[in-house]
Structure 1
Amino acid sequence: MDVAGKVIVVTGGADGIGAALCRRFAQAGAARVVVADINGAGAAAVAQAIGGEAVTLDVRDGAAIAALVADLEARFGRIDLFCSNAGVGGGDPDRNNAASATDETWQRGWEVNVMAHVHAARAVIPGMLARGEGYILNTVSAAGLLSQIGSAVYSTTKHAAIGFAESLAIAHGDGGVRVSVLCPQGVDTAMLRAGGGAAQPQNLDGVLTPDQVADSVIEGLAAEHFLILPHPIVETYMQRKTADYDRWLGGMRRLRARMAAAG
C-alpha cells in the first residue's frame, strides 16, 4: 500500500508510536488522518499539527468504534487503512509469580490488547470487502511472537492479538483485505519508561524512536508484509524458538536470571 491519498485512522494516536504514525502518514500525503485516542486533548494536538482530525475514543467500546467507522465511511466513502494501535502494558506485581496480576489487570489487557482489534475489524471489514480492498494494521509487539519476561498479561494478550490477525489474513486476504502486525521490541514511549526504561530484557537489542518505527511501517505497508519488524533480529529469535522450543525456554530462563541479578 502507498498511503498517499488514503483515508487513515490511527487509534492511540495522541503520543508514542501512534502519534509518529499520524505524522508519517501526513508527510506521505494521506488524504485524511483521523487521530483517535482516549486522551482527547492529546489527539487534538496531534491532529492540529498535521492537518488531520481528532476523535476522543475508548477502544474498549465496540459501539463507539462502529460509530466512528460509520461516520467516516459516510463522509469519505471509505477507510483505506485502519491502524489499531492502542495498547496497554504492565508487569507482574510479583516478579516471582507469573500468575500474580489481578483479574482487573487481565481484563484490561484483554479488552485493549485484543478486543480492540476485534471491534475495529468487525466495523471495517464489511466495507472493505464490499470495495474489494482495504488494509488493517494492528500494533502488537515482539512479545506476541516471543515473550516478555516479567509481564504475563502483556505476553499472553499480545500472543492472542497475533492469532486474531492471522485469522483476519487467512479469512479475508482473498477478498482484498490486507493485514499487517507491527511487532517492535523496545521503543522510546511512555509505556517503556513506565516499565523501567531501557534496562529491560525487551530492550537489549536497542531502543528505537517512534519515528523510526513509523518509517518501518511505511516500508512494511509498501511491501504488504504480514510481519513488520522494526528490530529485524526478532525474525532470528522466532526461528530459534520454533527450531527448539525447550532450548529457547531454557535460554529465556537464563536471561530472566541475569536480569534479576543485575537488579
Structure 2
Amino acid sequence: MRDGESEWGGRGGGGAGCLAHDMGLSVHIVCAVNSNDVVARFIRTGQYALADRVHPSLAPAMDVQVEVVVPTGGCGNTVAGCLAHDMGLSVHIVCAVNSNDVVARFIRTGQYALADRVHPSLAPAMDVQIPYNIERLVYLFSARDTGLAKADLQATRCATVSLDLLKKIQTVLGSYIADDNDIREAMRQCWHDNGYLVCPHTATGAHYHFGQTDSNLQRVCLATASPAKFTEAVLSAGLTPQPTQAIERLQHLAPKYQDVEQTDDWDAILRRAITDISQHHLQATM
C-alpha cells in the first residue's frame, strides 16, 4: 500500500496503519480482503480448480485446457488465475474489460499506458484507471523479478515490458473489450437464452462467450456480482430487476455514515469505529 493511501477509502489524513498495527488482527481480528490483499488472491485460486473440473467431459483428463473468462478491473482475479496456472492447472485466461481498457492494451501490446480519464460505464467496479495488480502480473511472469515489478508505473503513467516477457504473458492471458452496448446485449441474450440474469460486469465475459464459434473449446465464465446491485444497468438493458429479500431489506434501513474532512484525524476516527464495531459484535455473541 502506498503512503497516505487507506484501504478504507483512498487518500486523506492517515488511517493506513489501522489494520497493519494494533487495531488489526492481534486485537480485533479484522483485515481487509480486497484486490490489494494477496491473501484474497490465494483464496480465489480455488475458483480455477473448480473451473478446471466443472464440465463433465473434463472428468477423465485433467490436462484438457479450459478457457476461463474473467471480468477484469484491478486484475486481482487474474493474478489468482495465474497462480493457479503456476500450480499446474491447465487454464487459459481471457480478461474481459469494459471501455476502460488499460488491461487489454497491456496484454495485447505490452504497453502500460494510462488514459487521460476514467470513462463511467454500466460496470462501475471495472472503471479502473490504475489496475493495481499489474505489478503482480509482471512479477509472476518475469521469474519473480522484484526490481522489474517495482517500477513506478503510476508516476510515469507509461511503461513497456520486453517482447520476451509479453510473449510469456500472452501464453496464459488474452483480452476482450466490451462497451456498454455490448454489456446490454449480453445481459439480454443471457436472460432470453437461459433465463439467467447477470450483472453488467459478468456481461462483459458473457459477450465474449456469445461471440465465439469454437464448440470444442471448454469455457467457463466467472460471474462476479449479483445483478440486484445494479438496477440501473438491468433497466438499461430493457430487463426487469429481480431484487433479493436481503437487498429489499437494505432499502428500508436508515443510512449510517459519518462525514470526514481531509483535515480530520482519519486514524483516530477509524480506530473508534473499529473498536465500536468490535465491541458490538462481541456483545452480540456473548
Q: Which has the higher helix share?
A: 1
Higher relative contact order (CA 8 A, sep 6+): 2
Q: TM-score, normalised by structure 1?
A: 0.32
Q: TM-score, normalised by structure 2?
A: 0.30
Larger C-alpha radius of gyration, 1 or 2? 2
